[in-house]
Chain A
Amino acid sequence: MTNAPQPLLQIEGLRAGVGGREILRGLDLEIAAGEIHALMGPNGSGKSTLSNVLMGHPDYEVGAGRVRLAGEDLLELSPEERARRGLFLAFQYPVAIPGVSVVQFLKAAVEAVRGRESVRAAAFLRELRETAAFLEIGEIFLNRPINEGFSGGEKKRMEILQMLMLRPRMVVLDETDSGLDIDALKVVARGVQRIAGPSAGVLVITHYERILNHIPPHRVHILLEGRIARSGGPELVAELERRGYDWLREPSAAPSG
């Protein structure tokens, strides 16, 4: 440990999996407030497992390690407690909830996360409309059941809308760029830039460099077989683009963790 200020998100030796199969095999990662990190890796490297474990999906088991948000241990907390402490996950595959409108849903969520007293009905609606407009989401969507019949792009924008409304301090974007056209991607990036700032941390989990052109990261990590195989600056993205993942698999290149 250095004497630097306490990191916002701190993952130490995390081992976790699903259905009895270990997928994360000792993962370490630190993100300080004000930083944007990218986590890249091929299919099956454990990217989605990490996002689910961070948010506390009940199907995932944690074998060892620690995850702290602003110094507080997250792993013992329920998903809603994690959300209330400022963690936000933009899902790769957001589910639909029939009959529950976006307004109704977000009101319940905002009240739960930001506190009932702090949100008055009129102010909430005003903020929701403004935020929706900022993300180019038609107002008609707000009264439709959440994610039901939404296109891929609409769902992802809806995730970003929720993120802005809940004002988290640590954001995890799980493959938010997949299935997005360039215009939708710009809107998503605009939303992320709004939340990113001196006090918030962002982890962009992705397959492709495309989203990183719009959300430039301070640090880039490569996830391979459940461990961070390499970390570096933004230049790592270009190198990855040029050389693929295989050069990292050579035993000599793997850091000892």
Chain B
Amino acid sequence: MPELPSDNKLIRDYAHGFVTPVEEEVVPPGLNEDIIRLISRKKEEPDWLLEFRLRAFRAWQRKTEPRWALVTYPPIDYQAIRYYAAPRSLSAGQAVDPEIARTFERLGIPLDERRRLEGVAVDAVFDSVSVATTHQKILEEHGIVFCSFSEAVRRVPDLVRQYLGSVVPPGDNFFAALNSAVFSDGSFCYIPAGVRCPLELSTYFRINAAGTGQFERTLLIADRDSHVSYLEGCTAPIRDENQLHAAVVELVALEGATIKYSTVQNWYPGDEQGRGGIYNFVTKRGDCRGARSRISWTQVEVGSAITWKYPSCLLRGDDSVGEFYSVAFTNRKMQADTGTKMIHVGRRTRSTIVSKGISAGESVNTYRGLVQIHPAAERARNHSQCDSLLIGDRCTANTFPVVESDNPTAVLEHEATTSRISEDQLFYLQSRGVDPETARSLIVNGFCREVFKQLPMEFAVEAVKLLEIKMEGSIG
């Protein structure tokens, strides 16, 4: 097990960068049908799921890695990655390993039922497996299924089979196909018709083992007229190698249902020279399948060496609503190519995009978006606002939206600005006694306010703090 790096500055910059000393059970590195069969066998999966994996694997073999995003990285050796790692204590079916419980405690996620977070049910994922899900009792009272993906395959196989891959098909894209072939665990959630979920649901992803990838799968189904707010958090240890995280998130909102999905992504971003950090190549898509359904994505991205991620909404139901609120902060040599797609199919569908990019250091921060109005999407509406803030003169900010309309009654508006923190604003704040660092942080928080206010209270406070920490020292 690698040791904690001794460089104190790194630890200060990225407080989540420690390694948990647990014995892990891993599969040999490499990817082939045998490995996939082995993963499936370890997880005691039904045949249909193994078939799903193998279909995806064959699709993946035919695909080439996408290169259109504005990110550069050395070729990934997919045969050098381990596709499964699990704490050994867990596979033996024991209670949560005290080391792992301590890890989550240190990350601010107590798993102990007596000390668990109030108002938030957490599914804690450690490397490839879900280690615990809190607040089970109250959820069950409402008929809500919230558990690890593996458990869902056993508890509600029909639901999983009906919806898995129905939003992101196994062969959707290179990384989604890879995930579909090797996904290890993740969270599953089903909210029954008419139920308003009494708790925030949350998954906390922790990459711990070295040389592994994390390929979790999240499937969230909101039945008719239900309501759920879901939070996702991510961290990883500081390592000087790059680790691949290729997740798939599928959301299904049936008639009248609302899903609010919030992410605070704080993966390890690599050091000042750009060594190490997570490659975050993620496919997130929501399907507003029913009329009047609503899916809202809120993301705060402050980590990852590379982010390649476009949480999207397929607006099929009439009067359905899609929202995307995003803050992406890049520093050092980080690269982010992120944005959203809003596909309007149903009548009177509406979408809102608010994207705030902040680039510092030598980073590259790209917004890429697509708004598409299909011929039947009568009176569809979209409003997009994409703003970039530059800190320093060595970073790059790009904005590449695509707006397509096939319907004369649709109204689309896109606006984008790129600017730097204004000297006049800084001077004004300084003249009121505020020091320059606080002044910059105030201005940046103001810039992000529209997005932060979408987050649940505790998450918003966390996000503001996180951004402040990340900004420290970003001004040269």
A residues lining the B interface (CB < 8 Å): 55-59, 78-80, 82-84, 89, 91, 94-95, 97-100, 104-105, 108-109, 112-113, 145, 162, 166
Which of B160-168, B197-205, B257-265, B426-434 participates in binding chain A? B426-434
B18 CB–A CB distance under 8 Å: no
Verify B432–A162 contact, CB threshold 8 A: yes
Given A100-B445, A105-B442, also A95-B433 (CB < 8 A)? no
Given A109-B432, A162-B432, also A95-B442 (CB < 8 A)? no
B406 CB–A CB distance under 8 Å: no
Which of B141-149, B229-237, B390-398, B447-455 participates in binding chain A? B447-455
Smallest Cβ distance from B41 to chain A, in angstroms? 53
B435 CB–A CB distance under 8 Å: yes
Smallest Cβ distance from B446 to chain A, in angstroms? 3
B443 CB–A CB distance under 8 Å: yes
Verify B431–A55 contact, CB threshold 8 A: yes
Which of B29-37, B293-301, B417-425 participates in binding chain A? B417-425
Contact of A83 among B423, B430, B442 (CB under 8 A): B430
Other contacts beyond A55-B427, A79-B431, A112-B432: 20, CB < 8 A:
A56-B431, A58-B427, A78-B430, A79-B430, A80-B435, A83-B430, A83-B433, A97-B429, A98-B446, A98-B447, A99-B448, A99-B450, A100-B449, A105-B429, A105-B442, A108-B442, A109-B432, A112-B433, A113-B432, A162-B432
Verify A97–B435 contact, CB threshold 8 A: no
Q: Which residues of B contact A145 (CB under 8 A)?
A: 446
- Bound state CA distance, A79 and B439, in angstroms? 12
B46 CB–A CB distance under 8 Å: no
B409 CB–A CB distance under 8 Å: no
Contact of B428 among A94, A104, A108 (CB under 8 A): A94
Q: Which residues of A contact B422 (CB under 8 A)?
A: 95
Contact of B431 among A59, A89, A97, A105 (CB under 8 A): A89
- Bound state CA distance, A104 and B433, in angstroms? 14
Verify B427–A83 contact, CB threshold 8 A: no
Q: Which residues of A contact B427 (CB under 8 A)?
A: 55, 57-58, 79
Verify A83–B431 contact, CB threshold 8 A: yes
Q: Which residues of A contact B408 (CB under 8 A)?
A: none
Q: Which residues of B contact A91 (CB under 8 A)?
A: 428, 431
Q: Which residue of A lies closest to B444 (CB)?
A: A99
Verify A95–B434 contact, CB threshold 8 A: no
- Bound state CA distance, A72 and B187, in angstroms? 63
Q: Which residue of B lies closest to A86 (CB)?
A: B433
B438 CB–A CB distance under 8 Å: yes
B436 CB–A CB distance under 8 Å: yes
Contact of A166 among B424, B433, B436 (CB under 8 A): B433
Smallest Cβ distance from A8 to chain B, in angstroms? 18
Q: Which residues of B contact A99 (CB under 8 A)?
A: 445-450
Interface centre among B422, B429, B447, B450 (most CB of A within 10 A): B429
Verify A80–B448 contact, CB threshold 8 A: no
Q: Which residues of B contact A166 (CB under 8 A)?
A: 432-433
- Bound state CA distance, A145 and B447, in angstroms? 11
Verify A100–B446 contact, CB threshold 8 A: yes
Q: Which residues of B contact A162 (CB under 8 A)?
A: 432
19 contacts between A and B (CB under 8 A): A56-B430, A56-B431, A58-B423, A78-B430, A78-B435, A79-B427, A79-B430, A80-B439, A83-B432, A94-B428, A95-B424, A98-B449, A99-B447, A99-B448, A100-B449, A105-B429, A112-B432, A145-B446, A166-B432
Given A57-B427, A95-B422, A95-B425, also A108-B434 (CB < 8 A)? yes
Q: Which residues of A contact B432 (CB under 8 A)?
A: 80, 83, 105, 109, 112-113, 162, 166
- Bound state CA distance, A225 and B436, in angstroms? 33
Q: Which residues of A contact B439 (CB under 8 A)?
A: 80
Q: Which residues of B contact A97 (CB under 8 A)?
A: 425, 428-429, 442-443, 446
Q: Which residues of A contact B425 (CB under 8 A)?
A: 95, 97
Q: Which residues of B contact A112 (CB under 8 A)?
A: 432-435, 438
Query: Within B23-82, which residues are at the interface with A (CB < 8 Å)?
Result: none
- Bound state CA distance, A15 and B424, in angstroms? 23
- Bound state CA distance, A165 and B424, in angstroms? 21
Q: Which residues of A contact B424 (CB under 8 A)?
A: 95
Q: Which residues of A contact B447 (CB under 8 A)?
A: 98-99
Q: Which residues of B contact A58 (CB under 8 A)?
A: 423, 427
- Bound state CA distance, A98 and B421, in angstroms? 11
Smallest Cβ distance from B452 to chain A, in angstroms? 9
Q: Which residues of B contact A84 (CB under 8 A)?
A: 433
Smallest Cβ distance from B357 to chain A, in angstroms? 15
- Bound state CA distance, A94 and B428, in angstroms? 8
Q: Which residues of B contact A79 (CB under 8 A)?
A: 427, 430-431
Q: Which residues of B contact A55 (CB under 8 A)?
A: 427, 431
- Bound state CA distance, A89 and B431, in angstroms? 7
- Bound state CA distance, A95 and B431, in angstroms? 12
- Bound state CA distance, A166 and B447, in angstroms? 25
Q: Which residues of B contact A80 (CB under 8 A)?
A: 430-436, 439
Smallest Cβ distance from A195 to chain B, in angstroms? 15
Contact of A113 among B433, B442, B449, B450 (CB under 8 A): B433
Smallest Cβ distance from A77 to chain B, in angstroms? 11
Smallest Cβ distance from A169 to chain B, in angstroms? 13
Smallest Cβ distance from A123 to chain B, in angstroms? 18
Interface centre among A95, A99, A100, A105 (most CB of B within 10 A): A99
- Bound state CA distance, A79 and B427, in angstroms? 7
Smallest Cβ distance from A22 to chain B, in angstroms? 21
- Bound state CA distance, A166 and B434, in angstroms? 12
Q: Which residues of B contact A104 (CB under 8 A)?
A: 442
Q: Which residues of A contact B428 (CB under 8 A)?
A: 91, 94-95, 97
Q: Which residues of B contact A78 (CB under 8 A)?
A: 430, 435-436
